[in-house]
Structure formats: structure tokens, C-alpha cells
Amino acid sequence: MIQNGYLIFEDESFLDSTVAKMNALRKNGQFCDVRLQVCGHELMAHRAVLACCSPYLFEIFNSDIESHGVSHVTFEDLDPEAVEILLNYAYTAQLKADKELVKEVYSAAKRFKMERVKQICGDYLLSKLDSQNAISFRNFASSMGDARFLSQVDAFIQDHLLEVSEQEDFLKLPRLKLEVMLEDNLTLPSNGKLYSKVLNWVQRSLWENGDHLERLMEEVQTLYYSPDHKLVDGGLVIEGHSEVFGGEEDHLQFVQKKPVRESDQRQMSCSSSGSLSPSNQAANAPKQTARREWKYIASEKTASNNYLCLAVLDGVLCVIFLHGRNSPQTSPSATPCLMKSLSFEAQPEELEEQPLSPMHYARSGLGTAALNGKFIAAGGYNREECLRTVECYDPKEDRWTFIAPMRTPRARFQMAVLMGQLYVIGGSNGHSDELSCGEKYDPRTDEWTQVPELRTNRCNAGVCSLNNKLYVVGGSDPCGQKGLKNCDAFDPVAKTWTNCASLNIRRHQAAVCELDGFMYAIGGAESWNCLNTVERYNPENNTWTLIAPMNVARRGAAVAVHAGKLFVVGGFDGTHALRCVEMYDPARNDWKMLGSMTSSRSNAGVAMLGDTIYAVGGFDGNEFLNTVENISVGGNVSLLTHLKVSSLKPYSKVRVDKHLSWLFVSF
């Protein structure tokens, strides 16, 4: 075409042909003057082409303008396939990436400052956003610092939090459990305002009290919502009046500043990544820590006074579980012990001082069992840390001695004897991690060895032996938000786990035992609410059946078996640690209230030695215990249904008709 004296010709195929030839030259290494070293892979290219597409590489090449040879640029944190995809785009203007590589292409494009590619990859990922991948996408968007991408993911989570909360990625997140006490005339504020107060409380705990986020997450924290609409530590409100807010070791834990222990120092020095650890200088340098992200993302009310929240705490994506309830000071217990009409006071002349030796360690959430005429107490919490030590009590010598410690520190587990060996399964290691590992103790060699792991991590599960198999019943889900219906059986000969019929009701912290060829799951909690329901498992037809309920709803209770009866001891009723005891008679299918222990005990351990039931350790609402008390039931268990022993002095023993004796030992 001739126009205004000029020859004008447009070759529509030239550009495509030239681009294809240039890309071919690149792949063949011809005329290339830059080498990209990407994680051990060498990619050849032409500086002029890359400089036109990547502002980042342009800056590098421009600073190396004096070089007349081949430039070398090294990347140790990019995916070689993703960089190759970007090189193809630079030469052909075509972006073609497998869906599994889109995140890596996005990351490489961010490094190269190729904003158009980054936006295209982000839009593609958002088009694939669903409840299953929302958490991983948010983590990715946060790591990339992409505010647009992040805001859209957060908006999705806000609209679909309950669906997101059921996914595996969500269940693996660190979690903070809070219980907020309310006066009767107060209600919790709307979700956004409520969790802004929670974030402020966590900040104060980290900066002012010197706490660590990991430590706050180990146990449920008790807070108080004051009439002036402030959220404060329960321990500060009740200082000097701990009976008002008495609680259980894994349910109500007052926040307090604790000295750094040797194990803490060792853990902090070994934890180089510290994904949950705030800056060690947080208390002394709050301005530096304050620059880390604190953000409320989404929340839902899951049940009456139960809230679920996703938030960023000190730069860490966390789940917050919050339960609001009326202060026990203004609200009576929902499950009173019903013992006032059964009072029996010991006569002074019947008291006889007779102390027993306490355990070396205070323990709550421990595992206990009777083995070869001895009482075994393993693991548990002692407020300071999770234990792996194991103590053995000889009733003939009234002496506690140590046997080989467990391989893993653990608490919130139960222990059972199977084929002459002790088995422990699951539990918690004290660092907000539920365990799937198990181990067994051989008394002949005084050694613990590993057993095959559970299929899922689980704590607060019931464990007992039945028909030469080990059963694990219920327990907490990975978030600790609700109980499980799962029941699994372990064959020690085949060394395999199999599924059994599920419970009728979700349960964690249930007392589990075997009696006359049946297995019983007693009480526990479904989520926050304590249960008085009881189920019985028949191994012949693999079914669970609900039987008569207890008189008192309780979780964290202990159970012993004697003379064809079940004895359920202590526990926690949702407000108080309990002293009361009740007995189940399977022939009559009913429960009778018995005498009370001297101490309230939740998450204690019991075992039967001869005609005597021993109760050890636990949490009384204020202290972690190493005390021991026992009841000698003898041959006439029916006497217990009409008696209560109360107001016993420390180091005293009361005898009633030679069939009943409570013995309390103080430490």
C-alpha cells in the first residue's frame, strides 16, 4: 500500500514468527546473555527481553551495566517450573500454568514485579476459593502481602465460617479457649466488639504480663466481663476470693504471670521457628511487637453463649473458642450434689490419726491403674508443666516410688491394663497438641515401648480393656470444641486398629470401664455442657445402648469397679469440682448417691486394690493435688447408699461398722 508517498506494509505473521524464533533461541541457549540459577536449575535468556517484562530484573541488569559478559542471577526460594512459565510468558505473551503451580507462579511474579501476571494468578485462585481451601489461601495471601487478595478471602470466610471450621486446615490452627463470666444482668456485646476486647486482652497478657501466646493456648482461660464493659482476667477479679470462680484444671485456668522454668528456657532456645511465639522482647519492647498484625476476621455464635472466631493474634492465624456463662456467684449449680438429706457426721471418738504418703508430684488429668497389687499414677499436669514421670504406690509399705518414665509427656488421658501390661493412648502434651501416639509398659523390664498410633489425634478419650483388646472411646476433636462419637479397638497380637460402633452421644472426658463383659461410657461433656447420660457397649453385637443416667452430670470423673458395681468419683459439673460419689447397680439399672470424698476432685485418678478404692490427685477448684484418699468397701456395699462422711480432719481416719472407711492425706 502506498499512502502519502510512503510504502506501508503490515506483516501479521511476523510478530508471532519472531516471538517464536526468539523463544526457540532462548531454549537452545543461543545468543543468551543472562543465566537464572533457580534452586540448582539453570535457565538461559536474553537480558533485553527480561528487562522489558520485569521491573525487578531491569533494576538488576541496569546496576550491572558495565558487565559485557553473561550475567548470573540466583534465586534459592522460587520454583524452577514457575520461573520457566514466566519466561515463556515474557517471550510469547501466553501464560500457561498447571493449576497446582499457580501459587508458585504468583510468588515468582511478585518477586519479578510482574503485576499483571500476579493479578491474573490471584483472580484464578479466587475463582477456585471454597471452604476447603480458604485457610490455605488466606495463609498464602498473607505471606504475599496482597491486600486485595486477602480482603476477598476474608470476606468469603466471614460468609462461610461454619463450613470453613469443619475443614482439616482449620482444625490444625492454633486455638485459644476462653470462658467469660457474666453477671446475671449482663450480656456479651456483638461479635465484632466482643472480639476487639478479646484481642486487647491478649495484647495486655503478652505485653504487660509477659505471657507467651503458646502458654495462653495450653489451657482454657477464665475472663470476667465487668459491668463497665471491660474484659479482664478472672484471677484479678477474684484475688483473695477464689471460691467464687472455682474451676477445673482444663476448663477454668486463672491467668497469672509465671516465672520462666528451665523447661521453658530449653524449649524457647530449641524453637528457632517459633511460629506461635511472640517476640521474646515483647514485655520490654511493646512498640516493636505492636507492628505485628492483630486482626479480627470472622465469628459465629455456634450455640447458646458459645462463639467461634478466626483472628490474627500477634501475626499468627488462630481460632478462638469462647463460652459465656453466668457467674457462679449469682447462679446456682445446675447439678447440685443432692447430699444434704444424707448427712452423717463422724463421732469424735471414732477419729484416729493415720496419715498416708502423698505422691511426689501434684497431678491432674493423669492416668491411673492397678497393676500387680500396686497403684500406678502416670503423667498429668502439675500446673507448671505436663509430666511424663510415673509413680507406683505400695499400700503395704505406704510408699510411692518412681518407675520408668513414659516416652512422651502427656495428660488428659486414661490408662488400662491389657495382658499384664499398661497401655496409654493419646492425650495432650501440654503444648496445645493432641497426641495420636501410644505406648505400653512392661513391668518385667521396667520399660515403655511404642504401640501403633491412632488414626486421629485425640485427647480426653476413655480407655479400657475388654476381651483382650484395648478400646479408645470418644475424646476431644482436634479443636477441643466438641466431643467425638468415635470408638476404636486395638488388637495387641495383630497390632492393628479397627473401628467399632459409634457412641450415641458425643463425649469427651467420659469415665470408661469394663464390667461383666460390657464396656461403659459414663458422663463426660458433649461440648461445654456436662452430661449425666451413660452408655453400655455390647461387643457381641457391636452396639451402644443408653442406660439409666447418673444423678449428677459430671465430666472428668473417675470410675472403679468392685463386686459387680460401678463407683463414679468426683468430676466437674460445669460450675464446681465435685466431692460426691455414686454407685451403679447393673442388676437394678439405677444409680445411688454415696458418701462424699473429703476433697473435691476433677480429673483425678482411681484404682481398686483389694477391697479399697484409692482416689489420687486431681484439681479441687483451686489447687492441683497430690493427696490420696481411699474407701474400703468390704463385702457390704449396700451400706454406702445411706452414708455420707464429711468434715474429716486432715490426717484422720473414720471407721463405720468396719465396712466403710475414708482416709484423707494432706500434703
Instruction: Give the contacts of 241 (CB within 8 A, at least 6 positions apart).
Output: none
Q: What is the pLDDT of residue 277?
A: 32
Count the domains in the chain: 3
DSSP 8-state assignment for residue 641 = G
Q: What is the pLDDT of residue 180?
A: 83
Q: What is the pLDDT of residue 661?
A: 35
Residue 508 forms part of a structural domain: yes
Average pLDDT over residues 529-552: 94
Cα 609 to chain center, whole Å?
34
Question: CB–CB of 448/497 below 8 Å?
Answer: no
Q: What is the pLDDT of residue 303?
A: 67
Q: Which residues of 433-462 are buried (b: 16+ CB within 10 A; e: fewer)?
A: ebbbbbbbbebeeeebeebeebeebbbbbb
The H-or-E segment that residue 489 falls in is strand 487-491
Q: What is the CATH number of the domain that holds 434?
A: 2.120.10.80
Band (1; pLDDT cuts 50, 70, 90): low
193-229 pLDDT tens trace: 778 888 888 888 887 767 788 878 877 788 887 777 7
Q: What is the pLDDT of residue 33?
A: 80
Q: Are residues 397 and 528 in the same domain?
A: yes
Q: Are strands 306-313 and 316-326 parallel, antiparallel or unpaired?
A: antiparallel
Q: What is the pLDDT of residue 354?
A: 60
Domain that residue 107 falls in: 13-128
Average pLDDT over residues 2-7: 74
Average pLDDT over residues 271-296: 45
Band (283; pLDDT cuts 50, 70, 90): very low
Q: What is the pLDDT of residue 658?
A: 32
Band (478; pLDDT cuts 50, 70, 90): low
Q: Are residues 219 and 304 in the same domain?
A: yes
Question: CB–CB of 379/387 below 8 Å?
Answer: yes
Q: Are residues 315 and 387 in the same domain?
A: no
Residue 497 forms part of a structural domain: yes
Residue where a domain terminates, one of 262, 295, 326: 326
More confident residue, 658 or 629: 629
Which one of 336-340, 394-398, 583-587 scores highest in mean pLDDT? 583-587
Q: What is the pLDDT of residue 653?
A: 32
The dihedral over CA atoms of 452, 453, 459, 465, expressed in degrees to the nearest 10, equals -30
Residue 305 forms part of a structural domain: yes
Q: What is the pLDDT of residue 636?
A: 44
The dihedral over CA atoms of 357, 359, 360, 362, expressed in degrees to the nearest 10, equals -140
DSSP structure string for 70-83: -EEEEESSS-HHHH
Residue 352 forms part of a structural domain: yes
Least confident of 401-415, 472-486, 487-501: 472-486
Band (488; pLDDT cuts 50, 70, 90): very high
Percentage of the chain with pLDDT > 70?
Answer: 76
Scanning the structure block, which residue is given the C-alpha cell 502416670? 378
Residue where a domain terminates, one of 326, 352, 380: 326
Q: Are residues 185 and 90 in the same domain?
A: no
Least confident of 51-60, 248-257, 476-485, 571-580: 248-257
CA–CA distance, 497 with 548 (Å, rounded to integer)? 30
Average pLDDT over residues 491-495: 93
Question: CB–CB of 567/561 below 8 Å?
Answer: yes
Q: What is the pLDDT of residue 304?
A: 66
Band (244; pLDDT cuts 50, 70, 90): very low
Q: What is the pLDDT of residue 285?
A: 36
Q: Are residues 248 and 394 in the same domain?
A: no
Residue 201 forms part of a structural domain: yes
Q: What is the CATH number of the domain that holds 63?
A: 3.30.710.10
Q: What is the pLDDT of residue 8?
A: 75
Gap between the terminal Cα atoms of the chain: 107
Q: Are residues 31 and 79 in the same domain?
A: yes
Count of helices and strands (H, E) across the chain = 15, 37
CA–CA distance, 267 with 271 (Å, rounded to integer)? 6
CA–CA distance, 267 with 273 (Å, rounded to integer)? 11
Residue where a domain terminates, one of 71, 100, 128: 128
Q: Angle, to 10 degrees, between the axis of helix 102-112 and the axis of helix 55-63? A: 40
Beta bridge partners of 368: 377
Question: CB–CB of 272/264 below 8 Å?
Answer: no
Write the single-letter amino acid at 14.
Answer: F
Q: Are strands 221-225 and 175-182 parallel, antiparallel or unpaired?
A: parallel
92-121 pLDDT tens trace: 888 888 888 999 999 999 999 999 998 999
Q: Are residues 299 and 414 in the same domain?
A: no
Scanning the structure block, which residue is given the C-alpha cell 470401664? 513
Write the single-letter amino acid at 264.
Answer: D
Q: Are residues 345 and 436 in the same domain?
A: yes
Instruction: Give the contacts of 48 (CB within 8 A, at least 6 positions apart).
Output: none
Band (68; pLDDT cuts 50, 70, 90): low
- What are the grid coordinates assigned to 528, written together? 461445654
The angle at the Cα of 637, spanning 636 to 638, to the nearest 5 degrees, equals 95
For residue 427, pLDDT beyond 80: yes
Least confident of 30-44, 286-300, 611-625: 286-300
CA–CA distance, 395 with 376 (Å, rounded to integer)? 11
Strands laid side by side in the 41-45 sheet? 41-45, 34-38, 71-75
For residue 261, pLDDT beyond 50: no
350-384 pLDDT tens trace: 334 466 789 999 999 999 999 999 999 999 988 77
Q: Are residues 309 and 349 in the same domain?
A: no
Which one of 84-88, 167-171, 221-225, 579-583 scores highest in mean pLDDT? 579-583
Q: Are residues 522 and 563 in the same domain?
A: yes
For residue 397, pLDDT beyond 80: yes
Q: Are residues 321 and 429 in the same domain?
A: no
Nearest alpha carbon to residue 439 among 372, 381, 378: 378
For residue 506, pLDDT beyond 60: yes
- What are the grid coordinates assigned to 640, written together? 454406702
Q: What is the pLDDT of residue 608?
A: 93
CA–CA distance, 43 with 25 (Å, rounded to integer)? 12
DSSP structure string for 277-296: PPPTTTTT-HHHHHTS--EE
More confident residue, 233 or 213: 213
Instruction: Give the contacts of 164 (CB within 8 A, at least 6 positions apart).
Output: 131, 134, 135, 157, 170, 310
Average pLDDT over residues 622-650: 57
Percentage of the chain with pLDDT > 90?
Answer: 38
Nearest alpha carbon to residue 605 among 353, 346, 424: 424
- Tell the burial category of 633 from Cβ atoms under 10 Å away from its Cβ (0-12, 13-18, 19+): buried
Q: Are residues 541 and 619 in the same domain?
A: yes
Q: What is the pLDDT of residue 664?
A: 36
Query: Residue 335: phi, psi to the nearest 5?
Result: -135, 80
The angle at the Cα of 581, spanning 579 to 586, to the nearest 5 degrees, equals 160
70-90 pLDDT tens trace: 677 888 889 889 898 988 888
* Count of CB atoms situated within 10 Å of the CB of 258: 14
Residue 404 forms part of a structural domain: yes
Q: What is the pLDDT of residue 330?
A: 38
Band (16; pLDDT cuts 50, 70, 90): low
More confident residue, 281 or 297: 297
Least confident of 59-68, 209-218, 472-481: 59-68
The H-or-E segment that residue 458 falls in is none
Residue 194 forms part of a structural domain: yes
Strands laid side by side in the 565-569 sheet? 558-562, 565-569, 580-585, 590-596
